[in-house]
Amino acid sequence: MGSQQANLKGSVRLGGYLRKLRSGYGYSLRRVEERAKAEGGEIDNSQLSRYEKGICYPSFDKLRILANVFNVSIQSFSDVVDLESFEELKPLAGDPSGMVDRGIEETKAGNNGRAFALFERAVEMLLDAPASIDRQKMMGRAKVNQALALHRLGKLSLAEQELRGALRDQENLSPELRARSFLLLANIHADQGDGFLSEMEAEKAYEAARDLEMDQLAAMALHTLGRVLSDQGRPAHAIQRFRESARLYAAAGNTYEAIRVKTFIGSCYIELGKSREGVRLLRSALDEARGSSHRRLEAVAWSNIGDAYFRMKDWRRARSCFRESDALALYNNEKQTDVLFFNAFHEWRMAQEEDNPTREKIAFGRLKALRSSLERRLPEVEVFDDFVEGGRRHA
Protein backbone atom coordinates (compact mmCIF):
# COMPACT_ATOMS: atom_id res chain seq x y z
CA MET A 1 0.00 0.00 0.00
CA GLY A 2 2.83 2.39 0.90
CA SER A 3 4.49 2.00 -2.49
CA GLN A 4 1.18 2.58 -4.27
CA GLN A 5 0.70 5.85 -2.38
CA ALA A 6 4.26 6.90 -3.20
CA ASN A 7 3.61 6.24 -6.88
CA LEU A 8 0.57 8.50 -6.77
CA LYS A 9 2.51 11.40 -5.30
CA GLY A 10 3.21 14.12 -7.82
CA SER A 11 6.17 16.31 -8.63
CA VAL A 12 6.27 20.03 -7.86
CA ARG A 13 8.94 20.49 -10.54
CA LEU A 14 6.87 18.69 -13.17
CA GLY A 15 3.86 20.74 -12.15
CA GLY A 16 5.83 23.94 -12.56
CA TYR A 17 7.02 22.79 -15.99
CA LEU A 18 3.47 22.07 -17.14
CA ARG A 19 2.37 25.47 -15.87
CA LYS A 20 5.26 27.13 -17.73
CA LEU A 21 4.30 25.36 -20.97
CA ARG A 22 0.66 26.36 -20.60
CA SER A 23 1.59 29.98 -19.87
CA GLY A 24 3.94 30.04 -22.86
CA TYR A 25 1.05 29.09 -25.14
CA GLY A 26 -1.32 31.47 -23.37
CA TYR A 27 -3.71 28.61 -22.66
CA SER A 28 -6.26 28.48 -19.87
CA LEU A 29 -6.93 25.18 -18.09
CA ARG A 30 -10.14 24.91 -20.10
CA ARG A 31 -8.27 25.51 -23.37
CA VAL A 32 -5.87 22.65 -22.59
CA GLU A 33 -8.89 20.42 -21.98
CA GLU A 34 -10.23 21.36 -25.42
CA ARG A 35 -6.85 20.78 -27.11
CA ALA A 36 -6.56 17.38 -25.38
CA LYS A 37 -9.92 16.35 -26.86
CA ALA A 38 -8.72 17.46 -30.28
CA GLU A 39 -5.72 15.13 -29.80
CA GLY A 40 -8.07 12.26 -29.06
CA GLY A 41 -7.64 12.26 -25.27
CA GLU A 42 -9.36 13.32 -22.09
CA ILE A 43 -7.76 15.67 -19.55
CA ASP A 44 -10.26 17.79 -17.64
CA ASN A 45 -9.13 21.09 -16.17
CA SER A 46 -9.35 19.82 -12.58
CA GLN A 47 -6.92 17.00 -13.41
CA LEU A 48 -4.47 19.41 -15.00
CA SER A 49 -4.76 21.70 -11.98
CA ARG A 50 -3.76 18.81 -9.69
CA TYR A 51 -0.82 17.95 -11.95
CA GLU A 52 0.37 21.57 -11.89
CA LYS A 53 0.14 21.69 -8.09
CA GLY A 54 2.25 18.55 -7.83
CA ILE A 55 -0.52 16.61 -6.11
CA CYS A 56 -0.30 13.61 -8.48
CA TYR A 57 1.49 12.35 -11.60
CA PRO A 58 -0.20 12.12 -14.98
CA SER A 59 -0.44 8.59 -16.41
CA PHE A 60 1.67 7.76 -19.45
CA ASP A 61 -1.36 8.24 -21.72
CA LYS A 62 -2.01 11.67 -20.19
CA LEU A 63 1.65 12.62 -20.66
CA ARG A 64 1.48 11.54 -24.29
CA ILE A 65 -1.54 13.79 -24.83
CA LEU A 66 0.12 16.72 -23.02
CA ALA A 67 3.28 16.24 -25.10
CA ASN A 68 1.18 16.60 -28.27
CA VAL A 69 -0.72 19.60 -26.89
CA PHE A 70 2.48 21.47 -26.01
CA ASN A 71 4.64 20.09 -28.86
CA VAL A 72 7.34 18.64 -26.60
CA SER A 73 8.78 15.14 -26.24
CA ILE A 74 7.49 12.77 -23.57
CA GLN A 75 11.13 12.33 -22.56
CA SER A 76 11.24 15.97 -21.49
CA PHE A 77 8.71 15.23 -18.72
CA SER A 78 10.91 12.44 -17.38
CA ASP A 79 13.95 14.72 -17.59
CA VAL A 80 12.20 17.41 -15.57
CA VAL A 81 11.55 14.92 -12.77
CA ASP A 82 15.17 13.68 -12.92
CA LEU A 83 16.39 17.23 -12.27
CA GLU A 84 14.75 17.20 -8.83
CA SER A 85 17.86 15.43 -7.54
CA PHE A 86 19.83 18.69 -7.97
CA GLU A 87 17.45 20.84 -5.91
CA GLU A 88 19.55 20.34 -2.79
CA LEU A 89 22.58 21.84 -4.58
CA LYS A 90 20.92 25.23 -5.03
CA PRO A 91 22.30 28.03 -2.84
CA LEU A 92 19.70 29.70 -0.66
CA ALA A 93 21.07 33.19 -1.17
CA GLY A 94 23.66 35.07 -3.16
CA ASP A 95 24.28 37.28 -6.16
CA PRO A 96 22.90 35.96 -9.50
CA SER A 97 25.94 37.23 -11.41
CA GLY A 98 28.27 35.46 -9.01
CA MET A 99 26.20 32.28 -9.28
CA VAL A 100 26.50 32.31 -13.06
CA ASP A 101 30.29 32.78 -12.79
CA ARG A 102 30.50 29.89 -10.31
CA GLY A 103 28.29 27.77 -12.55
CA ILE A 104 30.62 28.35 -15.51
CA GLU A 105 33.56 27.18 -13.40
CA GLU A 106 31.64 24.06 -12.32
CA THR A 107 30.85 23.34 -15.99
CA LYS A 108 34.53 23.61 -16.89
CA ALA A 109 35.29 21.15 -14.08
CA GLY A 110 32.69 18.71 -15.39
CA ASN A 111 30.35 19.16 -12.39
CA ASN A 112 27.28 19.63 -14.57
CA GLY A 113 24.63 18.91 -11.93
CA ARG A 114 26.05 21.53 -9.59
CA ALA A 115 26.39 23.97 -12.49
CA PHE A 116 22.76 23.44 -13.49
CA ALA A 117 21.61 24.12 -9.93
CA LEU A 118 23.55 27.40 -9.84
CA PHE A 119 22.25 28.59 -13.20
CA GLU A 120 18.66 27.70 -12.36
CA ARG A 121 18.86 29.49 -9.00
CA ALA A 122 20.28 32.55 -10.75
CA VAL A 123 17.35 32.54 -13.21
CA GLU A 124 14.85 32.22 -10.34
CA MET A 125 16.38 35.21 -8.54
CA LEU A 126 16.52 37.28 -11.73
CA LEU A 127 12.83 36.63 -12.38
CA ASP A 128 12.08 38.24 -8.99
CA ALA A 129 14.42 41.21 -9.58
CA PRO A 130 13.22 44.61 -10.88
CA ALA A 131 13.12 44.88 -14.68
CA SER A 132 16.20 46.45 -16.27
CA ILE A 133 18.46 46.05 -19.29
CA ASP A 134 21.21 44.58 -17.11
CA ARG A 135 18.80 42.05 -15.64
CA GLN A 136 17.69 40.91 -19.10
CA LYS A 137 21.26 40.53 -20.29
CA MET A 138 22.18 38.53 -17.21
CA MET A 139 19.08 36.40 -17.73
CA GLY A 140 20.20 35.56 -21.27
CA ARG A 141 23.67 34.65 -20.03
CA ALA A 142 22.23 32.42 -17.31
CA LYS A 143 19.82 30.66 -19.67
CA VAL A 144 22.39 29.90 -22.36
CA ASN A 145 24.74 28.44 -19.75
CA GLN A 146 21.86 26.55 -18.16
CA ALA A 147 21.16 25.01 -21.58
CA LEU A 148 24.81 23.94 -21.80
CA ALA A 149 24.57 22.20 -18.41
CA LEU A 150 21.33 20.49 -19.48
CA HIS A 151 22.95 19.32 -22.70
CA ARG A 152 25.88 17.82 -20.83
CA LEU A 153 23.42 16.10 -18.49
CA GLY A 154 21.78 14.52 -21.55
CA LYS A 155 18.55 16.55 -21.29
CA LEU A 156 18.42 17.49 -24.96
CA SER A 157 14.81 18.63 -25.33
CA LEU A 158 15.01 20.83 -22.24
CA ALA A 159 18.31 22.30 -23.40
CA GLU A 160 16.82 23.14 -26.80
CA GLN A 161 13.79 24.77 -25.17
CA GLU A 162 16.01 27.01 -23.03
CA LEU A 163 18.04 28.03 -26.06
CA ARG A 164 14.98 28.78 -28.16
CA GLY A 165 13.69 30.95 -25.33
CA ALA A 166 16.99 32.84 -25.10
CA LEU A 167 17.18 33.36 -28.87
CA ARG A 168 13.66 34.79 -28.97
CA ASP A 169 15.13 37.66 -26.97
CA GLN A 170 18.26 38.07 -29.10
CA GLU A 171 18.67 41.79 -28.50
CA ASN A 172 19.67 40.97 -24.92
CA LEU A 173 22.30 38.47 -26.02
CA SER A 174 25.83 39.57 -26.86
CA PRO A 175 27.22 38.55 -30.27
CA GLU A 176 29.29 35.91 -28.46
CA LEU A 177 26.25 34.44 -26.69
CA ARG A 178 24.30 34.33 -29.94
CA ALA A 179 27.16 32.43 -31.61
CA ARG A 180 27.40 30.08 -28.63
CA SER A 181 23.66 29.48 -28.79
CA PHE A 182 23.83 28.44 -32.44
CA LEU A 183 26.78 26.20 -31.66
CA LEU A 184 24.96 24.53 -28.79
CA LEU A 185 21.93 23.99 -31.03
CA ALA A 186 24.27 22.39 -33.56
CA ASN A 187 25.49 19.94 -30.94
CA ILE A 188 21.96 19.16 -29.77
CA HIS A 189 20.81 18.47 -33.33
CA ALA A 190 23.90 16.32 -33.91
CA ASP A 191 22.95 14.31 -30.83
CA GLN A 192 19.44 13.96 -32.23
CA GLY A 193 20.80 12.66 -35.54
CA ASP A 194 20.05 15.73 -37.67
CA GLY A 195 23.43 16.15 -39.35
CA PHE A 196 22.20 18.55 -42.05
CA LEU A 197 20.79 21.09 -39.57
CA SER A 198 23.74 20.61 -37.23
CA GLU A 199 26.27 21.33 -39.97
CA MET A 200 24.49 24.55 -41.00
CA GLU A 201 24.33 25.82 -37.40
CA ALA A 202 27.96 24.93 -36.74
CA GLU A 203 29.07 26.76 -39.90
CA LYS A 204 27.05 29.79 -38.80
CA ALA A 205 28.70 29.68 -35.36
CA TYR A 206 32.17 29.29 -36.90
CA GLU A 207 31.72 32.28 -39.22
CA ALA A 208 30.50 34.41 -36.31
CA ALA A 209 33.42 33.34 -34.11
CA ARG A 210 35.93 34.06 -36.88
CA ASP A 211 34.42 37.54 -37.39
CA LEU A 212 34.63 38.15 -33.63
CA GLU A 213 38.24 36.86 -33.62
CA MET A 214 37.31 34.44 -30.84
CA ASP A 215 39.62 31.45 -31.30
CA GLN A 216 38.08 29.29 -28.59
CA LEU A 217 34.57 29.65 -29.98
CA ALA A 218 35.93 28.92 -33.46
CA ALA A 219 37.58 25.81 -32.02
CA MET A 220 34.25 24.67 -30.62
CA ALA A 221 32.54 25.14 -33.99
CA LEU A 222 35.29 23.20 -35.79
CA HIS A 223 34.95 20.52 -33.13
CA THR A 224 31.25 20.13 -33.92
CA LEU A 225 31.88 20.14 -37.68
CA GLY A 226 34.43 17.37 -37.22
CA ARG A 227 31.94 15.38 -35.20
CA VAL A 228 29.26 15.75 -37.91
CA LEU A 229 31.74 14.61 -40.59
CA SER A 230 32.66 11.62 -38.44
CA ASP A 231 28.99 10.72 -37.97
CA GLN A 232 28.59 10.92 -41.76
CA GLY A 233 31.29 8.27 -42.19
CA ARG A 234 34.05 10.68 -43.29
CA PRO A 235 36.74 10.16 -40.61
CA ALA A 236 39.68 11.44 -42.68
CA HIS A 237 37.95 14.79 -43.27
CA ALA A 238 36.85 14.87 -39.63
CA ILE A 239 40.45 14.49 -38.41
CA GLN A 240 41.43 17.67 -40.28
CA ARG A 241 38.72 19.65 -38.50
CA PHE A 242 39.54 18.08 -35.14
CA ARG A 243 43.26 18.83 -35.41
CA GLU A 244 42.64 22.51 -36.15
CA SER A 245 40.14 22.59 -33.30
CA ALA A 246 42.65 20.99 -30.90
CA ARG A 247 45.29 23.55 -31.89
CA LEU A 248 42.94 26.45 -31.10
CA TYR A 249 41.81 24.86 -27.82
CA ALA A 250 45.39 24.36 -26.68
CA ALA A 251 46.26 27.97 -27.56
CA ALA A 252 43.27 29.13 -25.48
CA GLY A 253 44.26 26.94 -22.52
CA ASN A 254 41.05 24.87 -22.65
CA THR A 255 42.40 21.51 -21.54
CA TYR A 256 38.99 19.84 -21.13
CA GLU A 257 37.97 20.34 -24.76
CA ALA A 258 41.48 19.68 -26.07
CA ILE A 259 41.40 16.27 -24.37
CA ARG A 260 37.87 15.65 -25.63
CA VAL A 261 38.92 16.35 -29.22
CA LYS A 262 41.85 13.96 -28.84
CA THR A 263 39.37 11.16 -28.00
CA PHE A 264 37.50 11.95 -31.23
CA ILE A 265 40.72 11.86 -33.26
CA GLY A 266 41.63 8.51 -31.72
CA SER A 267 38.20 7.11 -32.58
CA CYS A 268 38.54 8.38 -36.17
CA TYR A 269 41.83 6.48 -36.56
CA ILE A 270 40.08 3.36 -35.30
CA GLU A 271 37.35 3.93 -37.90
CA LEU A 272 40.07 4.13 -40.55
CA GLY A 273 41.39 0.74 -39.41
CA LYS A 274 44.49 2.26 -37.76
CA SER A 275 43.75 0.75 -34.34
CA ARG A 276 47.27 0.99 -32.92
CA GLU A 277 47.49 4.75 -33.49
CA GLY A 278 43.90 5.18 -32.31
CA VAL A 279 44.52 3.34 -29.03
CA ARG A 280 47.75 5.29 -28.49
CA LEU A 281 45.90 8.61 -28.81
CA LEU A 282 43.04 7.41 -26.62
CA ARG A 283 45.39 6.24 -23.86
CA SER A 284 47.17 9.59 -24.02
CA ALA A 285 43.79 11.34 -23.69
CA LEU A 286 42.90 9.02 -20.80
CA ASP A 287 46.06 9.94 -18.91
CA GLU A 288 45.42 13.65 -19.46
CA ALA A 289 41.78 13.34 -18.36
CA ARG A 290 42.77 11.47 -15.21
CA GLY A 291 45.43 14.06 -14.42
CA SER A 292 42.85 16.85 -14.76
CA SER A 293 40.13 14.93 -12.82
CA HIS A 294 37.69 14.92 -15.75
CA ARG A 295 35.66 11.81 -14.93
CA ARG A 296 33.42 11.92 -18.01
CA LEU A 297 36.39 12.20 -20.36
CA GLU A 298 38.04 9.28 -18.57
CA ALA A 299 34.86 7.25 -19.03
CA VAL A 300 34.62 8.16 -22.73
CA ALA A 301 38.28 7.30 -23.34
CA TRP A 302 37.90 3.90 -21.67
CA SER A 303 34.76 3.24 -23.75
CA ASN A 304 36.52 4.10 -26.99
CA ILE A 305 39.55 1.98 -26.12
CA GLY A 306 37.11 -0.83 -25.35
CA ASP A 307 35.56 -0.29 -28.78
CA ALA A 308 38.99 -0.65 -30.39
CA TYR A 309 39.57 -3.98 -28.63
CA PHE A 310 36.03 -5.03 -29.53
CA ARG A 311 36.82 -4.49 -33.22
CA MET A 312 39.98 -6.57 -32.74
CA LYS A 313 37.82 -9.28 -31.10
CA ASP A 314 39.90 -9.05 -27.92
CA TRP A 315 36.90 -9.58 -25.64
CA ARG A 316 38.90 -9.81 -22.39
CA ARG A 317 40.54 -6.39 -22.83
CA ALA A 318 37.34 -4.87 -24.16
CA ARG A 319 35.33 -5.97 -21.10
CA SER A 320 38.00 -4.65 -18.76
CA CYS A 321 37.80 -1.23 -20.45
CA PHE A 322 34.00 -1.13 -20.32
CA ARG A 323 34.06 -1.98 -16.59
CA GLU A 324 36.44 0.93 -15.95
CA SER A 325 34.17 3.20 -17.95
CA ASP A 326 31.01 2.08 -16.13
CA ALA A 327 32.57 2.86 -12.75
CA LEU A 328 33.40 6.40 -13.88
CA ALA A 329 30.04 6.99 -15.60
CA LEU A 330 28.12 6.45 -12.33
CA TYR A 331 29.07 9.18 -9.88
CA ASN A 332 27.00 10.96 -7.19
CA ASN A 333 23.67 12.05 -8.73
CA GLU A 334 25.06 12.14 -12.25
CA LYS A 335 24.63 9.14 -14.56
CA GLN A 336 26.29 9.34 -17.98
CA THR A 337 23.54 7.40 -19.74
CA ASP A 338 25.07 7.64 -23.22
CA VAL A 339 28.36 6.15 -22.02
CA LEU A 340 26.60 3.38 -20.08
CA PHE A 341 24.46 2.53 -23.12
CA PHE A 342 27.51 2.41 -25.39
CA ASN A 343 29.23 0.01 -22.99
CA ALA A 344 26.16 -2.21 -22.52
CA PHE A 345 25.65 -2.36 -26.29
CA HIS A 346 29.15 -3.73 -26.79
CA GLU A 347 28.67 -6.21 -23.93
CA TRP A 348 25.49 -7.36 -25.68
CA ARG A 349 27.24 -7.80 -29.03
CA MET A 350 30.14 -9.68 -27.44
CA ALA A 351 27.71 -12.02 -25.70
CA GLN A 352 26.04 -12.69 -29.05
CA GLU A 353 29.40 -13.40 -30.69
CA GLU A 354 30.30 -15.80 -27.86
CA ASP A 355 26.85 -17.44 -27.94
CA ASN A 356 26.46 -16.74 -24.21
CA PRO A 357 22.68 -16.36 -23.59
CA THR A 358 23.08 -15.42 -19.91
CA ARG A 359 25.44 -12.50 -20.63
CA GLU A 360 23.29 -11.53 -23.59
CA LYS A 361 20.12 -11.40 -21.49
CA ILE A 362 21.78 -9.31 -18.76
CA ALA A 363 23.20 -6.82 -21.29
CA PHE A 364 19.88 -6.60 -23.13
CA GLY A 365 18.09 -5.81 -19.85
CA ARG A 366 20.56 -3.00 -19.17
CA LEU A 367 20.01 -1.58 -22.66
CA LYS A 368 16.23 -1.57 -22.21
CA ALA A 369 16.52 0.20 -18.85
CA LEU A 370 18.91 2.83 -20.21
CA ARG A 371 17.13 3.40 -23.52
CA SER A 372 14.09 5.03 -21.90
CA SER A 373 16.17 7.97 -20.67
CA LEU A 374 18.46 8.42 -23.68
CA GLU A 375 17.73 11.03 -26.34
CA ARG A 376 21.02 10.95 -28.20
CA ARG A 377 20.77 9.21 -31.59
CA LEU A 378 23.93 7.14 -31.29
CA PRO A 379 24.54 4.53 -34.01
CA GLU A 380 24.27 1.91 -31.24
CA VAL A 381 20.85 3.28 -30.26
CA GLU A 382 19.58 2.96 -33.83
CA VAL A 383 20.80 -0.65 -34.10
CA PHE A 384 19.17 -1.53 -30.79
CA ASP A 385 15.90 0.19 -31.72
CA ASP A 386 15.81 -1.65 -35.05
CA PHE A 387 16.38 -4.94 -33.25
CA VAL A 388 13.58 -4.28 -30.76
CA GLU A 389 11.17 -3.13 -33.47
CA GLY A 390 12.00 -6.17 -35.56
CA GLY A 391 11.20 -8.40 -32.60
CA ARG A 392 7.87 -6.68 -32.07
CA ARG A 393 6.93 -7.05 -35.73
CA HIS A 394 7.60 -10.78 -35.58
CA ALA A 395 6.04 -11.35 -32.16
Q: What is the DSSP string of 97-153?
A: HHHHHHHHHHHHTT-HHHHHHHHHHHHHHHHHSPP-HHHHHHHHHHHHHHHHHHHHT
Radius of gyration from C-alpha coordinates of the chain: 22
pTM above 0.85, yes or no: no
pLDDT recorded at residue 291: 92
Q: Looking at domain 2-72, does it have CATH number 3.20.20.70?
A: no
| Torsion sign across C-alpha atoms 173, 91, 7, 16 | negative
- DSSP 8-class letter at 55: S
The β-bridge partners of 331 are 334
pLDDT recorded at residue 391: 66
Q: Which of 331, 385, 390, 372 is nearest to 75 (CA)?
A: 372
Q: Which of 243, 249, 248, 244 is nearest to 266 (CA)?
A: 243
pLDDT recorded at residue 395: 44
Cα gap 157→70, rounded to integer Å = 13
* Contact criterion met (CB below 8 Å) for 106 and 115: yes
- DSSP 8-class letter at 63: H
pLDDT recorded at residue 363: 94
Q: What is the DSSP string of 303-370?
A: HHHHHHHHHTT-HHHHHHHHHHHHHHHEETTEE-HHHHHHHHHHHHHHHHHTT-HHHHHHHHHHHHHH
Q: What is the pLDDT along the chain (395 residues), one digit of tens a residue?
A: 333 333 457 788 899 899 989 988 899 999 998 898 888 888 888 888 999 888 888 888 889 899 989 988 888 888 898 898 898 899 888 899 999 999 999 988 888 999 999 999 999 999 888 888 888 889 989 999 999 999 999 899 899 988 988 888 777 788 889 999 999 999 999 888 888 899 999 999 999 999 999 998 999 999 999 989 998 889 999 999 999 999 999 888 888 889 999 999 999 999 998 989 999 999 999 999 999 888 999 999 999 999 999 999 999 999 999 999 999 998 766 788 899 999 999 999 999 999 999 999 999 999 999 988 777 677 888 899 889 887 655 44
* Contact criterion met (CB below 8 Å) for 238 and 226: yes
Domain residues of the chain, as ranges? 2-72, 337-387
pLDDT recorded at residue 332: 67
Hey, what amino acid is at 386? Answer: D
